[in-house]
Amino acid sequence: MTTTAINTKQFMTSEQLLEHWQGHRNLTRRVIESFPEKELFEFSVGGMRPFAKLVVELISIGGPALKGIVEKNMEGYNEEGFNPTTKAELLNKWDEETEVINRYFGQISEERFQETFNLFGQYEFPVYQNILYFVDNEIHHRGQGYVYLRALGMEPPFFWERF
């Protein structure tokens, strides 16, 4: 039996979270690749946004949010600056953000994960919760992309394949 008090037990290290997130990002990349070019930008179900728009949202959160956290900059959320029209453009930006995420994530200290930060001047939560939100939001929207692919008669990538 460990004698560590329950509220101080570590669940995972920050490196493990980053690897977990980048594994999810690899899978999301494969889902982007799976879409036919036209349907990526035009197809949706139930009046929702096409998958490319959901991906632009993800791109506008991950890297910019981490940069905001590290620089303690509370500038508002903005997805207006990036308007891709091709799958290649979307994938290039996705890959650029992979590096941005690695660079900024590595600059967050253990103490900082527990500190409250007003992300985008709007989402005031402990930093670890903000980061979990980025990952969860990606899984949520990618799950919707899976339905779009199925509705198109296509087989999505395996959910458990990450690297």
- Residues near a copy of itself, by CB under 8 A: 1-2, 4, 6-17, 20, 24, 45-48, 106, 109-111, 113, 128-129, 132-133, 136-137, 139-144, 146-153, 159-160
Q: CA separation (Å) from 136 to 8, 9, 20, 38, 141?
A: 24, 22, 12, 27, 9
* Shortest Å distance, C-beta 98 to a copy of itself: 18
Closest CB to a copy of itself among residues 2, 83: 2
Q: Say if CB 41 and CB 78 are below 8 A apart.
A: no
* Shortest Å distance, C-beta 15 to a copy of itself: 5
Q: Which amino acid is at 163?
A: F
The two most distant CA atoms of the chain are separated, in Å, by 57
DSSP 116: E
Closest CB to a copy of itself among residues 77, 128: 128
Instruction: Tell me how many degrees the CA angle 66-52-47 measures, rounded to the nearest 5.
Output: 115
The three-state secondary structure class of 158 is coil
Closest CB to a copy of itself among residues 5, 83: 5
**Binding site annotation covers 20?**
no
Q: CA separation (Å) from 67 to 17, 128, 130, 152?
A: 17, 14, 13, 37
* Shortest Å distance, C-beta 120 to a copy of itself: 13
* Shortest Å distance, C-beta 88 to a copy of itself: 26
Two tokens, residue 103: 């660079």
Closest CB to a copy of itself among residues 45, 88: 45
Closest CB to a copy of itself among residues 17, 91: 17
* Shortest Å distance, C-beta 79 to a copy of itself: 16
Annotated binding site for a divalent metal cation: 141
Annotated binding site: 141
